[in-house]
Amino acid sequence: MKTGRLARLEGLGILCGFAAGAWLGAAEAPTKLVVVGLAPVVVSLAMVVGVFFARWTIPALIHGTASIGADLRRTPHLVVWAILAGCLWAVANTLTVYAIRDIGLSIAFPLWNSNSLLGILWGVVFFNELRGAGRSRWLGVLGGAALMFGGATLLALASAAAAGSAGSGGNPRHGIAAALMAGMLWGTMYIPYRKAYLTGMNPLSFVTFFTVGELGMMSILALAVTGGGSALWHELELARPALFWLLVGGFIWVVGDLLQQFAAKYAGISRGIPLSNTNQLWGLAWGILVFGELHGIGGAGYARVIGGSLLMALGAGAIAFASASEREHEWWRVAAERESQRYGIDPAWVQARLLGDAAGPGPRQRRPLDWLFLVVATLVFGAAALVARAPAIRVAWVWVGVLAVALVILLFAAGIRLWRDTEFS
């Protein structure tokens, strides 16, 4: 195993983790324009539809569906894993709606944000992450995750105080169970992520199948919650003027999620996932700067925001600097070998993929199917834009510009390195 190459790829994974946080945080912004008066499950479903189209077009644009087909033939079992991960995501996302209803965001958020701690546990137990890492790296990752957890709690308290979200007197036992379960589902979702990348699957292929589970499970849940097909259709009709913004939110989310997938592949879940959880910081920045939220929260509120942001930044920094040692990389290789043996995959191919070497059809192979995906997605987004209503909310466009520039810079920084070092492998 080429240690220098792995160290460079881990640095790339950490960069992807930070960029993922920025894009996942920005995905909330379009939804803030429209969610008033809509059923939460419909908001989720509409976003997932946007996610679905984005997840079928972006990979088709970058690598072409031929590359996805090649991954499918080499590692067919990972399709099941990806669909399973999509189902986990959809159930977790729906549970958060009920958690907020019953106990409010300030209590619910820290409970489900424990997902990164569970992700670290699974990374250590199942995939040899942090094995042979030494005390300082353990301290960096665990201490960093704990700092981020504390920071996230302070930010959630400040957000909830501003939104007046203290829970509407629902059943607290239900709310706590829903929030903890959402964290458990999201934390466990990282098992399929890591499994896929240790077995050589390309993140672009993984997300393509992930979205099948995500949209399928979300549709079933939306049907169950709204009370059937005609009731759901009625809710979607009501949401029609807002659909475009929700689709855009889903699209932005996919860019963040793709970066998170590359972070999980190259930095491991114990480091990549906490870093992408900086999305809360970015979501708050959009809320404060663009939508003028948190006005009049008082000195204690601002202290929470500043303290929480600093703690999150410190935690993320600690994790970013606790890079894997040569010995730990050796343990990653052992975990990858185990997967090759179990599923009968050529170890040389898996090792090449772990080192970010592009394998299979070249990135420039495009088929008519790829262009068909692009045309269909463009038509759907275009049709939604035609019936979209301009948001009535006040928006600070200067800050939209500043944050958008930051997003583009991070995307280009990560994208160029991903292309140069791995050709998005």
Q: Which stretches of the chain bind other proteins, using CB under 8 A?
A: 76-77, 80-81, 84-85, 87-88, 91-92, 94-95, 98, 102, 122, 126, 171, 174-175, 177-178, 181-182, 184-185, 188-189, 191-192, 195, 221, 225, 342-344, 346
CB of 413 to other proteins, least distance (A): 32
Shortest CB 344 distance to other proteins, Å: 3
In the complex, least distance from residue 192 CB atom to other proteins, rounded to whole angstroms: 6
Nearer to other proteins, 80 or 383 (CB): 80
Say how far apart CA 357 and CA 392 lie, in whole Å: 48
Cβ distance to other proteins smaller for residue 343 or 399 = 343
| Minimum CB distance to other proteins, residue 101 (Å) | 9
Identify the DSSP state of 364.
T
Could you identify the residue written with the tokens 């829970």?
Answer: 167
Distance between CA 225 and CA 218 in Å, rounded? 10
Least spacing, CB of residue 342 vs other proteins, in Å: 5
| DSSP characters over 109-155 | HHHHTTHHHHHHHHHHHHH-TTTT--HHHHHHHHHHHHHHHHHHHHH
Secondary structure, 3-state, 41-70: HHHHHHHHHHHHHHHHHHHHHHCCHHHHHH
Specify the amino acid at residue 371: W
Question: Which CB, 118 or 242, lies closer to other proteins?
Answer: 118
User: Please, what is the minimum distance in Å from the beta carbon of residue 333 to other proteins?
Assistant: 17
Please report, for the chain, how many H helices and E strands are present, in that order: 19, 0
Pick the closest to residue 208 from 340, 94, 66 (CA basis).
66
Q: Tell me whether residue 65 or residue 199 sits nearer to other proteins (CB atom).
A: 199
- Left if phi > 0, otherwise alpha if psi is -120 to 50, otherwise beta: which for 38? beta
Looking up tokens 């920005």, which residue turns up? 26
Give 19 or 92: the residue with its C-beta nearer to other proteins: 92
Closest CB 415 distance from other proteins, rounded Å: 30
Q: In angstroms, what is the minimal distance from the CB of 40 to other proteins?
A: 13
Cα torsion 193, 211, 26, 145 to 10°: value is -20
On the CB side of 228, CA atoms within 13 Å amount to 2
Nearer to other proteins, 72 or 313 (CB): 72
- End-to-end CA distance of the chain: give it in Å, rounded: 17
| Residue carrying structure tokens 């190259």 | 266
Which CB atom, from 349 or from 399, has the smaller least distance to other proteins?
349
Return the number of the residue (242 or 354) whose C-beta is nearest other proteins.
Answer: 354
